[in-house]
Amino acid sequence: MSGRTQYYCATSLDGFIAEADDTLEWLTGYDGAYDGPGAEPMKGSYDRFYEDVGAIVSGSVTYEWVLNHVEKWAYPNKPFWVLTTRELSVPRGEDVDVRFAQGSVGELHPEVIDAAGERNVWIVGGGDVASQYADAGLLDEVIATVVPVVLGTGKPLFDRRLQGGPMRLAGTRAFDSGMVELRYSIG
């Protein structure tokens, strides 16, 4: 049995994953707290998610942001596909496995699933890539961590309306940071 294809990301309360200029200070500089009942530690939640990931797909804008803003390769020891028609650089390192792809996500998906093995496929972003996966019927789950910040404008969680009816709530988690994870099944 193979894993699930998941769109896992942080989003502002009003549904944006980045500001219009692709900056993320609203997320990286966020410093909130919640000590209510059931609050789980935020620390370690990403690492637990990442352990179950076998392959990753992103768009070129997300990939370039990572290259320009993160010192060490953020996705070690996982095959990382970048959907692009441009030539882009690849970071150095033994733990880096970056692959470039053109064409439809439907054509690419079997290769990604095969590389992931029994683990999950993580759609990193952005909203257009997640929308392409949803349009192709290949997105199983959306895991959105809502940050209690309102941006007003920016890059949306999805680029367009998803077809096929409403998603089904599969779970929620409140974190000690004041962020809330919403998990939805699609299809």
- Contact present, 18 and 153 (Cβ < 8 Å): no
Residue 2's pLDDT band, with cuts at 50, 70 and 90, is low
Question: What's residue 1's pLDDT?
Answer: 47
Token pair 């019927």 in the structure block, residue: 137
Q: Would you list the DSSP string of 57-125?
A: EEEHHHHHHHHHH-SS-SSTTSEEEEE-SS------STT-EEEEE-S-HHHHHHHHHHHHTTSEEEEEE
Maximum distance among all Cα pairs of the chain, rounded to whole angstroms: 49
Contacts for 85 with CB less than 8 Å, ≥ 6 apart? 102
Total domains, the chain: 1
Which H or E run contains 28?
Answer: helix 25-28
CATH of the domain at 155: 3.40.430.10
Q: Which residues pair with 142 in a beta bridge?
A: 7, 184
pTM of the prediction?
Answer: 0.94
Token pair 């939640």 in the structure block, residue: 45
Q: What is the mean pLDDT of residues 18-45?
A: 94
pLDDT in tens, 98-126: 999 999 999 999 999 999 999 999 999 89
pLDDT in tens, 40-66: 999 999 999 999 999 999 999 999 999
pLDDT in tens, 74-99: 999 999 999 999 999 999 999 999 99
In which domain, by residue range, is 76 found? 5-185
Report the alpha-carbon distance of residue 146 to residue 86 in Å, rounded: 32
Residue 164 has pLDDT above 90, yes or no: no
Instruction: Tell me the pLDDT of the chain averaged across its residues.
Output: 95
Nearest Cα to Cα of residue 9 among 70, 59, 78: 59
Q: Would you list the DSSP string of 34-60?
A: --STTPBPSTTHHHHHHHTEEEEEEEH
The pair of three-digit structure tokens given for residue 111, joined into one six-digit string: 């290769």
